[in-house]
Amino acid sequence: MKLLNCRVCHDILALDHHPRRCRCGLCYGRYTDDRQAEYAGPGRVLGLGNRDYVRMILSPVYRGEIWTIPDVGDNVRRLGG
């Protein structure tokens, strides 16, 4: 699972095939048809394992890991400058 974190308003939202914006509106992103994440604005893409997510939902004491995904790569594309 990929999450978009705005560095201005600190909103975190799960990416979807439909474009999504943070609360302040400066950061937005979506999944492309080939499951690549693309985003624009002052944000960063975070990764969360699907299994970790399910375990965190089912057990309030489970602690999963979230990591930053680089802007350059097969899975993420930053739009604009």
pLDDT for residue 13 is more than 90: yes
Read off the pTM.
Answer: 0.83
**What's the whole-number mean pLDDT along residues 38-50?**
93
pLDDT for residue 40 is more than 90: yes
Rounded Cα–Cα distance for residues 57 and 45 (Å): 21
58 within 8 A of 42, measured Cβ to Cβ: no
The pLDDT score that the predictor gives to residue 72 is 67
Q: What's 70's DSSP letter?
A: P
11 within 8 A of 5, measured Cβ to Cβ: yes
3 within 8 A of 15, measured Cβ to Cβ: yes
Q: Work out the percent of the chain whose per-residue pLDDT is above 70.
A: 98
68 Cα distance to chain centroid:
9
